[in-house]
């Protein structure tokens, strides 16, 4: 009888504790990393419940539900970040925190996705339902719970990321001015014959250590290592801040700038006008030089805002999973999209069309098979049995597939095509990450230039993603390629621009693209509201307003005394309607009735609106509403002096 009473008394507390320990335990199982502070901090809900004692009621239950939801969601996201990239919250994680990423997770890893949701549901339910027992010092237990929350790795990681985001733009004035002065030179053909074609292949997370014949107990990439030795092989390409994930790698290598901003990543990418980065990105410059520019990749184009950026930066054709999957076997797709052998087969067809067209071209590609955590093996490849189930098998096959494709390119055009091979970024968390960490000081990006006119050379000049575009332009025979905002050709300079100028990690960490885009030029205070496409044009840039599923988006627009746009961005929390004189709001609202009770908007009769609306104006001086079904152009007046 007594034992039964003890079970009824302590079992709920034990289940509650187990539910909150489940996430650090899951991370330990998947990564082998203990995170002891997280285990300790996961006891916070137990101390809270014990401290509140047997009290119930709506208020106490609501408090526990809110507490559990906030801490539970933060912990869940933190566990995903640790599992996928081996570190806590950062720009890279929140850049990809959107609908397409969630869709991929549920499609590719349904068991893991539903397990995480089940853990979260259990945490919330048990925290709300379980009651403690009478204690002599309930306040002490609640205080302990509070302290544990504050030192919890998910919470401290989130705070650290928030602080780092707030610091963007705080200390980069000199760097911003230096970059603005450099700009980007417009490349000019040398005039020595027809411009060269360019095939640029980004290899997913394929860092240079993958070429090591001994590190992984098997020579994984002998074909690719031999191929790269036939051209200019750059062996000291280092990761810089703002280049550490796929879209950052593509952006930085083509535009010569880090992808860093306090504005949401997808939103920033869709808004960038290449000319405002200092002159243009690679595809735009080549397009202006008469090139046909094509991008091909097997992943969803919405992922990471890829398609929007590529179309806006000079690619005349952007072919992602949506455009290509109708041409392939529907039963032969990975969770991320097309397998690499399929992508290369389609690229061969595209090459035939491009060569037949007769114009010079840029064909940029992105592989997928080496995507974390274990990669994907194309069915045309048969890796050794001992590599099965490991990223090593995908590395082995990527080496073969890339090499075969490059050989085919040169068979088609042995004289006038430059092939560029490079990592989009360093590898993220995979099963060989412990081996990579052992050689952390040796981790470098892969970067090589291959062409019949290029002499083989091993080049050990330090460089970054920012130096890639000017380097390949020089290799392709262009002149005037020397200056990209933070890059320069490694063929004609002793080192990359970042190393030459001594630009520090701290300076890059506080750099914000918004500071560069909003330069000292007078940008007229003109706004274009494009409701049908759910976007707005500010300072010469199109900005997506929906922010990946949010019901409303608010932009603060600051106008200087001349009537020019001096700043735009997302207002800080609590500032939505209390802004300084001269500040405008541009609001896209899907459900106007939600704002009908705002006294400052009473004259707009929003309850009668039949669809989404734009709201524009100064809260203190009156707002205007516009039907989002129409295209509207507005001029903003300068603030009163």
* Predicted confidence (pLDDT) per residue in 320-375, tens digit: 988 898 899 999 998 788 999 999 999 999 999 999 999 999 999 999 999 988 89
Dihedral over Cα of 157, 159, 163, 168: its sign = positive
Band of residue 577 on the pLDDT scale cut at 50, 70, 90: very low
* Predicted confidence (pLDDT) per residue in 361-375, tens digit: 999 999 999 998 889
Give pLDDT, residue 641.
43
Band of residue 558 on the pLDDT scale cut at 50, 70, 90: low
* Cβ contact 92:244 at 8 Å: yes
* Predicted confidence (pLDDT) per residue in 592-601, tens digit: 777 777 766 7
- Of 179, 186, 418, 181, give the one whose Cα is nearest residue 285: 186
Average pLDDT over residues 550-575: 55
Question: By 3-state DSSP, what share of the chain in percent is helix, strand and coil, each rounded to 5?
Answer: 45, 15, 40
HEC profile of 70-96: HHHHHHHHHHHHHHHHCCCCCHHHHHC
* Cβ contact 314:336 at 8 Å: no
Which tokens in the block code for residue 391? 């990223």
* Predicted confidence (pLDDT) per residue in 107-129, tens digit: 777 888 899 999 999 999 999 98
Other CB atoms within 10 Å distance of the CB of residue 171: 13
Q: Could you give the CA distance from residue 35 to residue 75 in angstroms, rounded to a whole number?
A: 13
Q: Is 294 helix (H, G, I), strand (E, B) or coil?
A: strand
Average pLDDT over residues 549-562: 56
Dihedral over Cα of 312, 316, 319, 323: its sign = positive
Q: Which helix (H) or strand (E) holds 282?
A: helix 282-288
* Cβ contact 403:241 at 8 Å: no
Would the pLDDT of 306 be above 60? yes
- Specify whether the backbone of 516 is left (phi greater than 0), alpha (psi in -120 to 50) or beta: alpha
- Of 362, 356, 324, 330, give the one whose Cα is nearest residue 343: 324
Other CB atoms within 10 Å distance of the CB of residue 238: 16
- Average model confidence (pLDDT) for the chain? 83
Q: Could you give the CA distance from residue 190 to residue 135 in angstroms, rounded to a whole number?
A: 83
DSSP 495: S
* Cβ contact 300:337 at 8 Å: yes
Would the pLDDT of 252 be above 90? yes
* Predicted confidence (pLDDT) per residue in 374-426, tens digit: 899 999 999 999 999 899 999 999 999 999 999 999 999 888 999 999 999 99
Q: Which of 274-278, 348-352, 503-507 has the highest mean pLDDT?
A: 348-352
Least confident stretch, 34-43, 370-379, 464-473, 587-596:
587-596
- Of 309, 250, 302, 245, give the one whose Cα is nearest residue 91: 245
Looking up tokens 């200056």, which residue turns up?
A: 483
* Cβ contact 42:126 at 8 Å: no
Would the pLDDT of 520 be above 50? no
Q: Could you give the CA distance from residue 46 to residue 67 in angstroms, rounded to a whole number?
A: 12
Percent of the chain with pLDDT over 90: 45
Give pLDDT, residue 485.
87
Band of residue 551 on the pLDDT scale cut at 50, 70, 90: very low
Q: Could you give the CA distance from residue 489 to residue 495 in angstroms, rounded to a whole number?
A: 8
Q: Could you give the CA distance from residue 446 to residue 234 in angstroms, rounded to a whole number?
A: 7
Average pLDDT over residues 573-586: 54
* Cβ contact 396:213 at 8 Å: no
- Of 442, 84, 390, 104, give the one whose Cα is nearest residue 244: 84
Query: Which carries the bigger pLDDT value, residue 267 or residue 200?
Result: 200
Band of residue 307 on the pLDDT scale cut at 50, 70, 90: confident
User: What is the pTM for the complete model shown?
Assistant: 0.78
Q: Could you give the CA distance from residue 248 to residue 464 in angstroms, rounded to a whole number?
A: 12
Would the pLDDT of 578 be above 60? no
Beta strand 197-203 pairing with 361-366? parallel
Kindly report the backbone phi and psi dihedral angles of residue 538, in degrees, each rounded to the nearest multiple of 5, phi listed first: -130, 135
Which tokens in the block code for residue 293? 């520019």
CB-side exposure of 232: number of CA atoms within 13 Å? 23
* Predicted confidence (pLDDT) per residue in 125-157, tens digit: 999 988 877 665 778 888 999 999 999 999 999
- Of 95, 86, 179, 160, give the one whose Cα is nearest residue 508: 179
| Cα angle for residues 320, 368, 232 (degrees, 5° grid) | 105
Give pLDDT, residue 74.
95
Q: Could you give the CA distance from residue 376 to residue 397 in angstroms, rounded to a whole number?
A: 9
Kindly report the backbone phi and psi dihedral angles of residue 238, in degrees, each rounded to the nearest multiple of 5, phi listed first: -105, 150
Give pLDDT, residue 461.
97
CB-side exposure of 457: number of CA atoms within 13 Å? 11
Name residues whose C-beta falls within 8 Å of residue 473's C-beta, 6 or more positions apart in sequence.
187, 282, 285, 481, 489
Q: Could you give the CA distance from residue 523 to residue 539 in angstroms, rounded to a whole number?
A: 6
Average pLDDT over residues 173-199: 72
Looking up tokens 């046909």, which residue turns up?
A: 292
CB-side exposure of 542: number of CA atoms within 13 Å? 13
| Residue 25 burial (10 A CB sphere; 0-12, 13-18, 19+) | middle
Tally helices (H) and strands (E) across the chain: 23, 19
- Of 290, 286, 285, 354, give the one whose Cα is nearest residue 319: 354
Q: Which of 304-318, 435-449, 472-486 has the highest mean pLDDT?
A: 435-449
* Cβ contact 522:564 at 8 Å: yes
Would the pLDDT of 265 be above 80? no
Residue 598 CA from chain centroid, whole number: 36
């Amino acid at each position: 009888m007594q034992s039964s009473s003890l079970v009824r008394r302590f079992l709920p507390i034990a289940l509650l504790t187990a539910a909150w320990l489940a996430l650090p335990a899951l991370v330990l199982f998947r990564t082998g990393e203990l995170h002891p502070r997280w285990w300790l901090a996961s006891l916070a809900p137990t101390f809270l419940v014990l401290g509140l004692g047997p009290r119930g009621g709506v208020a106490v239950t609501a408090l526990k539900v809110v507490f559990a939801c906030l801490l539970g969601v933060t912990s869940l996201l933190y566990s995903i970040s640790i599992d996928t990239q081996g570190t806590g919250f950062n720009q890279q994680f929140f850049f990809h925190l959107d609908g397409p990423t969630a869709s991929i997770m549920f499609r590719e890893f349904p068991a893991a996705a539903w397990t995480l949701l089940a853990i979260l549901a259990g945490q919330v339910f048990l925290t709300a339902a379980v009651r403690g027992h009478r204690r002599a010092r309930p306040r002490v237990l609640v205080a302990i719970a509070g302290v544990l929350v504050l030192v919890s790795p998910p919470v401290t990681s989130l705070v650290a990321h928030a602080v780092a985001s707030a610091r963007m733009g705080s200390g980069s004035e000199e760097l911003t001015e230096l970059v603005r002065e450099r700009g980007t030179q417009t490349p000019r053909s040398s005039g020595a014959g027809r411009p060269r074609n360019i095939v640029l292949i980004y290899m997913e997370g394929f860092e240079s250590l993958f070429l090591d014949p001994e590190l992984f107990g098997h020579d994984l990439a002998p074909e690719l290592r031999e191929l790269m030795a036939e051209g200019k092989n750059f062996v000291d390409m280092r990761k810089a801040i703002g280049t550490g994930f796929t879209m950052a790698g593509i952006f930085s290598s083509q535009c010569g700038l880090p992808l860093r901003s306090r504005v949401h990543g997808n939103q920033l990418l869709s808004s960038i006008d290449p000319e405002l980065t200092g002159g243009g990105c690679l595809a735009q410059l080549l397009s202006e030089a008469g090139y046909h520019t094509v991008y091909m990749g097997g992943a969803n184009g919405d992922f990471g805002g890829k398609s929007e950026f590529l179309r806006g930066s000079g690619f005349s054709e952007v072919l992602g999973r949506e455009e290509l999957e109708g041409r392939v076997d529907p039963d032969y797709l990975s969770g991320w999209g097309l397998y690499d052998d399929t992508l290369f087969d389609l690229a061969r067809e595209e090459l035939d069309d491009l060569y037949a067209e007769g114009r010079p071209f840029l064909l940029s590609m992105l592989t997928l098979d080496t995507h974390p955590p274990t990669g994907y093996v194309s069915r045309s490849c048969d890796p050794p049995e001992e590599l099965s189930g490991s990223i090593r098998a995908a590395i082995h096959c990527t080496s073969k597939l890339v090499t075969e494709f490059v050989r085919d390119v040169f068979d088609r055009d042995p004289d006038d095509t430059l092939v560029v091979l490079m990592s989009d970024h360093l590898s993220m968390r995979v099963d060989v990450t412990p081996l990579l960490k052992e050689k952390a000081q040796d981790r470098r990006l892969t970067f090589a230039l291959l062409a019949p006119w290029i002499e083989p050379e091993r080049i050990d000049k330090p460089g970054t993603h920012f130096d890639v575009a000017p380097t390949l332009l020089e290799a392709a025979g262009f002149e005037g390629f020397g200056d990209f905002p933070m890059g320069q050709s490694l063929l004609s300079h002793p080192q990359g621009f970042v190393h030459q100028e001594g630009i520090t990690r701290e300076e890059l960490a506080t750099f914000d693209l918004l500071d560069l885009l909003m330069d000292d030029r007078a940008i007229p205070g003109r706004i274009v509201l494009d409701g049908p496409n759910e976007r707005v044009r500010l300072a010469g840039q199109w900005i997506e307003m929906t922010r990946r599923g949010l019901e409303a988006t608010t932009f603060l627009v600051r106008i200087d005394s001349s009537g020019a746009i001096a700043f735009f961005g997302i207002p800080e929390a609590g500032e939505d309607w209390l802004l300084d004189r001269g500040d405008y709001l541009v609001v896209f609202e899907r459900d106007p009735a939600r704002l009908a009770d705002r006294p400052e908007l009473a004259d707009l009769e929003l309850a009668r609106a039949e669809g989404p609306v734009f709201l524009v104006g100064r809260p203190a001086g009156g707002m205007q509403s516009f039907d989002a079904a129409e295209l509207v152009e507005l001029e903003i007046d300068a603030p009163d002096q």
